[in-house]
Structure 1
Amino acid sequence: MVPEVVSKDMYAYLKRNTRLVLSVESEEGGQEHGDATEPEPSSGTKHKQAKKKATQAAISSFVVSAHPTQNQKSGKSVAAMFCKTPEEVVADRHKNKTTQSTLEACTKKGKEAKQIVNDHVADFLYENKIPLHVVNSRSWEVMLESIGQFGPGYRGPSYHDVRVPWLDRAVDRTTTLRSKHEQAWKEYGCSIMSDAWTDTRQRHLINFLANSPAGTFFLASVDASIEIASAELLADLLEKQIDSVGREHVVQIVTDNGSNFKAAGRALVKRIPHLFWTPCAAHCLDLLLEDIGKIKEFNDCITMAKRVSRFLYKHGRLHSLMREKLGGDLVRPGITRFATSFLTLASMQKHKNGLRSLFICDEWQHSKFSTSQEGTQAENIVLSVGFWQNLENCLRASQPLLIALRIADGDETPAAPEIMAAMGKARDTIQEALKGKPRLLKEVLARFDKRWDQQMKQPLYGAALFLNPGKFFSIREKDKKQAGILRSMFNDVMWKMISDEEEQTKISNQADDYERSEGEAFSKPGAIRDRERKNPILWWGAYGGLAYELQSLAKRIISLCCSASGCERNWSDFAAIHTKKRNRLEHKRLNKLAYVSYNRKMDNRFTNIRELGSKGKRSNPLLLEEFTWQNEWVEEESDGDNIWDAVDEALGASQGLRGRNLPRIAAAAGSSSQTQTQTYVRTRKRPRNAAATAQDIREEDDNSPAEDEQEQETARQTNDDEDEGGQESGGRGAAGDEFQLDEDLL
């Protein structure tokens, strides 16, 4: 026999599928009162009255959290006691990846009811132009689960609610996430990152973030519009944020290479003796890619590749045909202008056969584009052997740097222990790849060494590499001199970070044991075997316990980042929030929205990474999540400098997405142009060499005589190199071996 209370509770749950607090005494009292004053109703009426009372009780006594408030009566229902919170449900769903039907799913009305809900969700997304990638958000799943657990009768917020009180509560909830970051700051230290940005209202905003192995946390944003962004002002603002985190926890500050940030860094180092200032490695590598892109051969190759790309994206029919031949888009929008250029060149190399087949297929030959001047130029470029050889040489010089940029720009694992080794590997790879082109190799290495010596050769990078067992011991076996330099860099960093002489001596002795694999801590077979198997942080946590002082220092060094890319990702949140239609937001509310958006997004991202573990797929920090049409490889009028328009993740709700209008835009431009595009019928076989390609480009560009002569000389030199390369290496490239494209970059 089922108890009456349990029976009533189960009945109410099956009817309403929600968590309730049932007042059994009041219902019984009401029934007794009804028996005394009113005649007993019929069974049908009695059932309707009970259903009505239960519905009213559901609306008035719904409990969202697992803990009742003081105003609630007695205990919870059976459903409430066994029901998990929405966050727990979503976490279990991600962890277990189960498809087994739940009790709630078994009690639903069926497919028709679910279809109605799906239609309402779709109407909301499409009507309000919500970016469709929000359905991949973890908070989206939690929201749907929470509404489903609430049941019928939920009323949405008002405009004032989401604008003021709800936003304030969201800020308070987000602030609670800081506690786990503070624990990481105490154990591993942290890096303070800063960058500046000017919004659509010409307000000068400065962001401050803290990075540690726990992730990146957005601290604050300052409106410095009425101030001059001098070194003194930046130093004061940075010092204020350092004090809010704790001076003893901050190891370095990372900024871009602007003169004011450099001066601010030098001032802070004087104020705080143990502090380091480090230029953003990603910014330095981007400048290096820019320097290499200015080399004559590479610049010509990039210019030709842009002509092909713009032509294919300019016309809707060609764009569709290209996607059909290549299986997707050709352009790879990167986080910066120059990353986009070299990533797109890599994409062209990957789809080399597809591009060639596009310009020899029947659809192309019978289209009007094949007889146009632009089409002729694009075809000559793609079918030119010299163009592909120059593109391959360009990738030989840039691909190792893109790999280093991917390491520097990532935030899933600390980059400081890897960046110096990655740059050394990049230099060796470039030297080997271009050994057949001594003049070109000399130019590339000159630019490489200048950036490395003047900006990227930092003591912290050397100390972190010394403490990286997976890299240091292999370097020690191959190059004793380099190993000695790394030890010297570690000593300099140790003396700066540790002021106590006795502790310095103890750490130095422990470092001797580490370097020689001696002592009780570092001589064990497991410690030696796991050098290359474990992450440096995990290795020091597992085997450095008996050398506690060195272990504590090592954790604070190898856990550092070497890029301020977190600031750039945060600017994408600012750009998504502060669009042209929402440019009247005051800075205080803008700061709150960005604070909640960035920190919750980063928390969910690292939660997903921890759930997937080693099986998870790592994101590529070089590529944007969304394809953007505001790109100099797509549109000729794009200046390519507005990075934050490119990383605007609210692209689906802005005016930037013009892909579907490209055919109409091209037609309108053609009809309104005063100069009519010339078309002609070919009566001779088109040349396939670089000289003919350069000639076609000159006809359109209308260059000066000096520029024409220079291009002719370049074309002749390209042909000579092409003939020489074909004789020496069989057409395989400058180095005499076949070029291997790293498709992980794409």
Structure 2
Amino acid sequence: MEDNVVVITAHEQTQRTVDDWMTAECIPFNMMRSEYWDRMVHALMNVPKGFRYAKLESARTKRVEVTRGRVTMRVEELRQEWPTTGCMLQLDEWTDRRQRPHINVMVSFPKGSIFWRSVCMSGCNKGASTYYGILKRAIEEIGAEAVMGVVMDNVAVCAPAGRMEEADHPHIFSVPCTTHSLDLIFESFTKITFVGEVIKRASEVAKFFTNLSRVRDLLLYSNGSVMAKPGATRFATNFIMLSSLQGLYLPLRACLMDDDWKPAIVHTSQHELFVRVTHAIFDDTFWAVIEKVMQTSKNLLKLLKKVDGADPTINKVYARMDSAVEKHRESKHFTEAEKDELEAIIMRRWNTTTSP
């Protein structure tokens, strides 16, 4: 029994050492899902006698160069397969913490995707010729015979850049990003009168319950949860926000029945907003329209979640889009005119996306 106690204590002490490191250095827990975490732990458990780990100076200099060399060799090994398997170039825009724009160039192929390079666009002309230059350089480095197509956003400069590249290499086709195309479908939905009106009211409710701490605490006390807010550039988040609002229907009603729900809970400058939010939550028509709007988007949201993941989805996208359109046609929530309008929006954007 004593031996078992000693073993258990030793195991616990080892685990506490790991816990202390993760807690003190704010290491995200989901890091433990990484295959590299398991590989590192197993390597340390079977470390050869005399092993000494790299200290700070060595880790940030010599070991970085060693890792860079290994990655370069692995990328080169993969690149040798691309003339046989084919690959796709992807251009993705992003902004760093200093608000400088960048374009990431990535390569997708049957085994996955890799980062190729990042181009800082700060102070650069962001016209089609610039995008074309980035594409041309990447294609020359990879080899034109290995590149099958180019995927870019739906911004105005990308289409002519893609056509310029297609003129140079007729076998390479340019297509818009499916995720971005779906997001633009949601943007078009928001321009439909009844959709835009309910999103405006729902956004007011969502921001009221997320921006004001006393109101937010009251919602949490009423068995609610943190409400999703719409994002500034992702139009699909408007519909995610509506879905979140639907799930909080009962807690929101409970908030309004609470003794603390009175104008004094907010600043006097927000009393009018307090009244509008109260009326919206008690308005059955408001909730009915939310349900109607969700019928326009729920199948497309599922598709967006699918294509925005890491796994290959091209073989599933077409069937799911056909299914979403068919369900719109069969829905009893819309008039025939509304069905025609929704289908026209979807197909106009979808045809642009799927036509090289």
Q: Same fold (TM over 0.5)?
A: yes
Distance in 1 (CA, whole Å) between partners of 2:77 and 2:242 is 42
Deviation at 1:457, TM superposition (A): 3.8
Q: Is the 8 A contact 2:87 2:107 kept in 1?
A: yes
Equivalent position of 1:300 in the other structure = 197
| Pairing partner for 1:341 from 225, 234, 238 | 238
* 1:379 equivalent in alignment to 2:278: yes
Q: Which amino acid aligns with 2:259?
A: Q
* 1:425 equivalent in alignment to 2:353: no
* 1:447 equivalent in alignment to 2:341: no
Q: Is the 8 A contact 1:197 1:205 kept in 2?
A: yes
Inter-CA distance 265–422: structure 2 relative to 1 (3 Å threshold): same
Residue correspondences, number:
349
Compare 334-343 and 165-174 and name the one that shifted more.
Answer: 334-343
Equivalent position of 1:281 in the other structure = 178
Unaligned runs of 5+ in 1: 1-105, 460-746
Distance in 1 (CA, whole Å) between partners of 2:146 and 2:285 is 55
Q: How does 1:720-735 map to 2 (within 5 A)?
A: none
Deviation at 1:438, TM superposition (A): 4.2
Q: Is the 8 A contact 1:250 1:275 kept in 2?
A: yes
Equivalent position of 1:138 in the other structure = 35
Deviation at 1:179, TM superposition (A): 6.0
* 1:235 equivalent in alignment to 2:129: no
SS at match of 2:21: helix
Q: How does 1:535-550 map to 2 (within 5 A)?
A: none
Inter-CA distance 322–169: structure 2 relative to 1 (3 Å threshold): farther
Distance in 2 (CA, whole Å) between partners of 1:223 and 1:309 is 36
* 1:148 equivalent in alignment to 2:45: yes
Equivalent position of 1:590 in the other structure = none
Higher-RCO chain (CA-CA 8 Å, sequence separation at least 6): 1
* 1:393 equivalent in alignment to 2:287: no
For residues 526-547 of structure 1, give each alpha carbon's deviation from its aligned partner in whole angstroms, at most 9, with x where no partner exists.
xxxxxxxxxxxxxxxxxxxxxx
The two structures, once aligned, show a CA RMSD in angstroms of: 3.3
* 1:312 equivalent in alignment to 2:206: no
Deviation at 1:390, TM superposition (A): 0.8
Q: How does 1:630-649 map to 2 (within 5 A)?
A: none
Distance in 2 (CA, whole Å) between partners of 1:414 and 1:129 is 34
Deviation at 1:217, TM superposition (A): 1.1
Inter-CA distance 121–204: structure 2 relative to 1 (3 Å threshold): same
Distance in 2 (CA, whole Å) between partners of 1:306 and 1:332 is 7
For residues 255-282 of structure 1, give each alpha carbon's deviation from its aligned partner in whole angstroms, at most 9, with x where no partner exists.
1122332222111111112110111121
For residues 328-355 of structure 1, give each alpha carbon's deviation from its aligned partner in whole angstroms, at most 9, with x where no partner exists.
4432888962222211212322343343
Unaligned runs of 5+ in 2: none
Distance in 2 (CA, whole Å) between partners of 1:396 and 1:388 is 13
Inter-CA distance 137–457: structure 2 relative to 1 (3 Å threshold): closer
Deviation at 1:284, TM superposition (A): 1.5
Distance in 1 (CA, whole Å) between partners of 2:229 and 2:51 is 44
Deviation at 1:285, TM superposition (A): 1.4
Q: Which amino acid aligns with 1:379?
A: T
Q: Which amino acid aligns with 1:211?
A: S
For residues 185-230 of structure 1, give each alpha carbon's deviation from its aligned partner in whole angstroms, at most 9, with x where no partner exists.
3443211101233434454432111112211111122334454234
Q: Which amino acid aligns with 2:198?
A: C
Deviation at 1:129, TM superposition (A): 3.2
SS at match of 2:235: helix
Q: Which amino acid aligns with 1:406?
A: K
Q: Is the 8 A contact 1:194 1:206 kept in 2?
A: yes
SS at match of 1:365: coil
SS at match of 1:273: coil
Q: How does 1:88-103 map to 2 (within 5 A)?
A: none
Inter-CA distance 337–231: structure 2 relative to 1 (3 Å threshold): closer
Q: Greater share of strand residues, 1 or 2?
A: 2
Q: Is the 8 A contact 2:215 2:265 kept in 1?
A: no
Distance in 2 (CA, whole Å) between partners of 1:277 and 1:448 is 20
Q: Which amino acid aligns with 1:389?
A: A
Distance in 2 (CA, whole Å) between partners of 1:420 and 1:146 is 44
After TM superposition, the score normalised by the length of structure 1 is 0.42
